[in-house]
Chains A and B, each alone.
Chain A
Amino acid sequence: MTEQKKRTTIVLFSGDYDKAMAAYIIANGAAAYDHEVTIFHTFWGLNALRKDEPMELKKGFLEKMFAKMMPRGADKMGLSNMNFAGMGPKMIKHVMKKHNAMTLSQLIEMAQEQDVKLVACTMTMDLLGLQQEELLDDIEYAGVAAYLADAEDGNVNLFI
């Protein structure tokens, strides 16, 4: 096809498992629609991109605290509703398995396979003390201008 591809951009602000799932389902759907898809991760949404293994990095006291308190990776994220101190995610994952729904980690993998552009906001990475080594490989790093460049010719723009 020679015509310009349509474009979908999603800002993932939330660090909730269910909201991130919704974002990634829409992203995968849009990629199947042959859209160019960007997910811009900022603030708590950055946690979806964290690798799950702990690693030794040079960090200040506050940054270490943040790293400890925030979920390390998609699988550790809590629910926006009915989290029940961590029981909620366990229950929903059980139900998801029963219904053959993809987990958030699988959705992220599928999105990468479909060439969805995953972007980490560098300004909020600094605020939360997250470093590139801690985040998934093959993602991009950018700020508001790069996001707007994608969003201004976006056909679908979402903030989740």
Chain B
Amino acid sequence: MNADQVLDAKGLACPMPIVKTKKAMNNLEAGQILEVKTTDKGAKSDLTAWTKSTGHMLLDSKEEDNVFTFYIQKG
């Protein structure tokens, strides 16, 4: 998937992945896609809940070698 911006939040602990994601999202236009990489095990639930509640869309997510990758489209 082609992302307009990539956010590397690997190694960061709660609440930083969400805080950084929100900051990165502010710089995007509606419809653009942000790719977020994180290693925080709570991030899957966190980012899923966050995108739902803030009006964005979680297009896809995957886990590889303990790194979670999320594709979020700005709403």
Mark A residues whose CB is within 8 Å of B: 25, 28-29, 31-34, 99-102, 110, 114
Is B19 in contact with A99, judged by CB distance below 8 angstroms?
no
Q: How many residues on B have C-beta within 8 angstroms of the other chain's C-beta atoms?
A: 13
Can you show 24 pairs from A to B with CB atoms below 8 A apart? A25-B14, A25-B15, A28-B15, A29-B14, A29-B19, A31-B19, A31-B22, A32-B15, A32-B18, A32-B21, A32-B22, A32-B50, A33-B22, A33-B53, A33-B54, A34-B22, A34-B54, A99-B13, A100-B11, A100-B12, A101-B14, A102-B13, A102-B16, A114-B19
A28-B19, A32-B21, A32-B22 are contacts. A100–B50 as well, Cβ < 8 Å? no
- A-B contacts at CB below 8 angstroms, number: 33
Residues of B within 8 A of A29 (CB): 14-15, 18-19
Residues of A within 8 A of B12 (CB): 100
